[in-house]
Homo-oligomer: A and B are copies of this chain.
Amino acid sequence: MNETRVPGSRPAVDSGRRRFLIEIPALAAAMAACGPTEVAKRTGATDTATTPAAETTTQPTQNADSRSDTSLHRAMPATSSVPGASPAAAAVPFHRIDPTLPPVSRERVTRLHFTVKETPIRVRDDTVVAAWTFDGDIPGPIVHVRQGDRVEFTLTNAGSIPHSMDFHAAQLDPKVAFRSVMPGQSISYSFAPRYAGAFLYHCGTAPVLMHLGSGMFGAIVVDPPTPLPRAKEVVLVESEFYLGAPVNGIAPFDYTKMLATLPDLFAFNGRPAQYQAAPIHVTHGELVRFHVVNAGPTHPCAFHVVGEQFDTVYLGAPPGSAIHGVQTYSVPAGGGMIFEMRADHPGEFVFVNHAFGHGQKGAIGTLVVDG
């Protein structure tokens, strides 16, 4: 990547309609790494590795976006911010994220079109964050498909800086499929998940830590060819919050704090402790299947349900790679595992990241087994 392509610290691509001030070399460089020829038109990438002509570069063995991850980590402190959005911020309502796994598509081809939106989100009563999102929320939409079926995916960047999409369920050349998209542009690619499981997706634009840590993640659940036994299925995406001082009532995500790895808050599905305020309900006797995906960006999630034990934890693709009779198991950052228990006792069962210095900061909720 030629640093001289970055004329100043301000990116030249601010949208007039709405600006995220990115006054830092790191993000300016990230934008520069995504040259106009790459994103001037909507291009297609598939897992047959068809590379559009626009992809031709002078650095064939190097993914500039990814390389910059490390070279930029000592850049000036970065924060996400939403100047001028204060009045809107005060009005942003809180809403709970439904953790229910949506039904699997009946079609052999699932078409997804996500839009990147940089937008304030109220993550609890007293906290609105300057979020970078897929489709306007943290986490992004939960996707549910079958192993081997095709996902046709389009990402449109309605934000003010480059973004991208990295599906952990896909096997694709990241340099092509997961490359950064300039504001106002789109990219499309398709893939057929080779393995079943609960997978993370996230923005892969450098610095990944900043994009992942600012809200750009979600989960894709892939069913095996022979479905697992019928169950109440919920998806819990754990993440960490590293927040700067609020500006006009909106707390920015703070890159320097992300690098320091001491989070302020944790959450399942983007709101600290939301399922304590409004629990998840299941019925007595049901099999409950937790798809636990850990967005991180950094710490493991030691998943546990108080008063219960997991009959099965799938460390890899179900129905294989299973262990049984487990109190707690750790999902690494960037990983996903599936936890099953039988709701054979009515009552109120707290699920928690049992790394309690983290769980206590919001990675905690309640599962109510209705009798």
Q: Which residues of B sit under 8 angstroms from A369, Cβ to Cβ?
A: 173
Residue of A166, A261, A362 with highest tally of chain B CB at under 10 A? A261
Q: When chains A and B are docked, how far (Å) is the Cα of A137 from the Cα of B356? A: 21
Bound together, the chains give a CA A272 to CA B70 distance in angstroms of 8
Residues of B within 8 A of A138 (CB): none
Are B355 and A309 in touch, CB under 8 angstroms? no
A173-B261 contact given A296-B354, A306-B178, CB 8 Å threshold:
no
Whether B321 contacts A361 by the Cβ 8 Å rule is no
Q: Are A200 and B300 in contact, with the CB atoms below 8 A?
A: no
Q: A148 on the interface (CB 8 Å rule)? A: no
Asked if A332 CB lies within 8 Å of chain B CBs, one says yes
A185 close to B (CB within 8 Å): no
- Shortest Cβ distance from A199 into chain B, in angstroms? 6
Instruction: Specify which chain B residues have a CB less than 8 angstroms from the CB of A62 in the assembled complex.
Output: 276, 279, 348, 366
A344 in the interface (beta carbon within 8 A) = yes
A197 CB → nearest B CB, Å? 6
Q: Which residues of B contact A70 (CB under 8 A)?
A: 272-273, 276, 360-362, 364
Instruction: Tell me the bound Cα distance from A345 to B176 in angstroms.
Output: 11
Counting from the closest, the 8 A-B pairs by CB-CB distance are: A173-B347, A334-B354, A317-B325, A195-B325, A298-B357, A302-B332, A70-B273, A328-B335
Interfacial chain B residues near A352, Cβ < 8 Å: 69
Cross-interface CB contact of A357 among B166, B209, B344, cutoff 8 Å: B209
Q: How far is the CA of A371 from the CA of B344 in the complex (A)?
A: 51
Given the contacts A70-B276, A173-B346, A327-B199, A298 and B355 also touching, CB distance less than 8 Å: yes
Residues of A within 8 A of B (CB): 47, 49, 61-63, 66-67, 69-71, 73, 166, 168-178, 194-197, 199-200, 204, 207-209, 212-213, 258-262, 272-273, 276-277, 279, 296-300, 302, 304, 306-309, 313, 315-317, 320-321, 323-330, 332-336, 344-350, 352, 354-362, 364, 366, 368-369, 371
Determine the chain B residues whose CB is within 8 A of the CB of A172 once the complex forms: 307, 345, 347
Once the chains bind, are A332 and B328 in contact (CB under 8 Å)?
yes
A73 with B307, Cβ < 8 A, contacts A173-B345, A348-B62, A354-B333 known: no
CA–CA, A209 to B347, complex, Å? 22
Q: Once the chains bind, are B356 and A67 in contact (CB under 8 Å)? A: no
**Chain B residue contacts of A47, Cβ below 8 A:** 345
Partner of A171, one of B307, B316, B324, B359: B307
Q: Which residue of B lies closest to A70 (CB)?
A: B273
Residues on B with beta carbons closer than 8 Å to the beta carbon of A200: 327-328
In contact, A360 and B209 (Cβ under 8 angstroms): yes
Contact at B66–A360, with CB atoms within 8 Å?
no
Report the minimum CB–CB distance from A136 to chain B (whole Å): 23
A348 and B300 CA atoms in complex are apart in Å by 27
Check A173–B360 contact: CB distance below 8 A.
Answer: no
Q: Is the CB of B323 within 8 A of A207?
A: no
Q: How far is the CB of A360 from chain B (nearest CB, A)?
A: 4
A360 contacts which chain B residues (CB < 8 A)?
69-70, 73, 207-209, 259
Q: Once the chains bind, are A297 and B174 in contact (CB under 8 Å)?
A: no
Q: Which residue of B lies closest to A210 (CB)?
A: B360
CB distance from A287 to the nearest CB of B (A): 14
Given contacts A316-B325, A330-B330, A335-B354, 13 further A-B contacts (CB under 8 A): A66-B350, A69-B273, A172-B307, A172-B347, A174-B348, A196-B325, A207-B360, A208-B356, A208-B360, A320-B325, A321-B325, A329-B335, A333-B355
